[in-house]
Amino acid sequence: MDASSLDELSARLGIIPREPELIRQAFVHSSFFNENPALAAGHNERLEFYGDAVIGVAVSRLLFVSYPDDDEGSLTARRAALVNRDALAEMALSIGLDRYLRLGRGETEAGGAARPSVLAACFEALAGALSLSEGTERTETVMAHLFAPRLASLALNPGAPKSAKSQLQEWTQRYRGVKPIYHLVDTTGPPHDQRFRVTVVIDGTAFGLGLGSSRQRAEEQAAQAALIGLPEVLDGLAQEPAL
C-alpha cells in the first residue's frame, strides 16, 4: 500500500493513523509475504486473530445499546448476522479493501481478491491494526460507523435467518431448560493453518460434530449438524410461539 492509498483509506475511515505500518500490514496476505519476505514486515494473520475479537466486542457493545430489550439468544443471532464471513467480506468490498490487498502470484491468479475468506480476514486484520494503532475507543467509533447501515438493515428485517447456534440454543432452552455446551475435541495443523474440531453436547449427550478454521466456525458447524440430527428442533421453533 503506497502513501496515496493509505491516505485514501484513512480519509474513508476518518483517521490519521499513528502507526501506518500496522495499517499496511493488515493488507499483506501470507502468500505475498512468503514470496516476498523482504518487501513487508509480516503478513496479516496475527492481526486477523486479534481483529476478530476487536470486532466481536465492538459489535456486541453496539447491539447491547441498540437492543436493550433483547435477551442473550437474540443478541447472539443479531451478532452472527453481522459478523459472519460473508457479511465481513461484503463490508470489506463496500469500503474498497480489495483494492489494497497484497497477494502472492498464485493467490492473485486464483482470484483471491474476490474470495470471501480473504476479504473477511483482511477486514478483521484491519480492525486489529486500528485497535493497536488508534486505541480501543477510536476503533469502536470507526466500527460503529461502518456497521451502522447494516444494523439499520437488520432492524428493518427482523425475520433475518438466525445462526445455527442461535436456533439450537433457543430450542434447548425452551424444551430442555439447558444451554448447548461446546467441547473442543482437538486442534490440528500448523499455527498459521489450524483446524478446530468441536462437539456440541445437549443435556449430557453429544449431538453434533463440527470442523472449522476457527473455534467459532467449528461450533457453528457442530450446531448445524445437531439441527440436522434433530429435525424436531426446527419444527418446534417454527410452530411454537416465542415465550
- Listed in sequence order, the residues at least 6 apart from 140 whose beta carbon sits closer than 8 Å to its beta carbon are 57, 58, 61
What are the percentages of helix, strand and coil residues in the chain, rounded to 5?
Answer: 65, 10, 25
Residue-level pLDDT, tens digit, the chain, 243 residues? 778 888 999 998 999 999 999 999 999 999 999 999 888 888 999 999 999 999 999 999 999 999 888 877 778 878 888 898 888 999 999 999 999 999 999 899 888 889 899 999 999 999 999 999 999 999 999 999 999 888 887 776 655 456 778 788 887 888 788 899 999 999 998 877 788 999 999 888 888 898 888 888 888 888 888 887 665 544 544 444 433
pTM: 0.67
- Type of residue found at 84: N
Cβ–Cβ < 8 Å for 88, 120: yes
Domain boundary among 130, 156, 182: 156
What CATH number should be reported for the domain holding residue 169?
Answer: 3.30.160.20
| Burial of residue 107, with CB atoms counted within 10 A of its CB: 0-12 exposed, 13-18 middle, 19 or more buried | buried
Q: Quick one: 178 and 140 in the same domain?
A: no
Cβ–Cβ < 8 Å for 134, 127: no
Cβ–Cβ < 8 Å for 177, 203: no
Longest dimension (CA), the chain: 60
Task: Reply yes or no on whether 193 is catalytic.
Answer: no
| Burial of residue 63, with CB atoms counted within 10 A of its CB: 0-12 exposed, 13-18 middle, 19 or more buried | buried
Name the catalytic one among 52, 170, 219, 220.
52
Cell of 174: 425452551
- CA 53 from chain centre, in angstroms, equals 9
Per the structure, the complete domain to which residue 30 belongs is given by 3-156
Task: Reply yes or no on whether 140 is catalytic.
Answer: no
Cα–Cα distance for residue pair 129/131, rounded to 1 Å: 5
Name the catalytic one among 45, 124, 134, 219.
124
Rg of the chain in Å (alpha carbons): 19
Q: Quick one: 16 and 84 in the same domain?
A: yes
Beta bridge partners of 210: 198
Structural domain count, the chain: 2
Cβ–Cβ < 8 Å for 222, 199: yes
Q: Quick one: 92 and 56 in the same domain?
A: yes
Cell of 23: 495499517
Q: Quick one: 111 and 203 in the same domain?
A: no
Name the DSSP class of 162: P
Domain boundary among 122, 138, 156: 156
Domain boundary among 112, 130, 156: 156
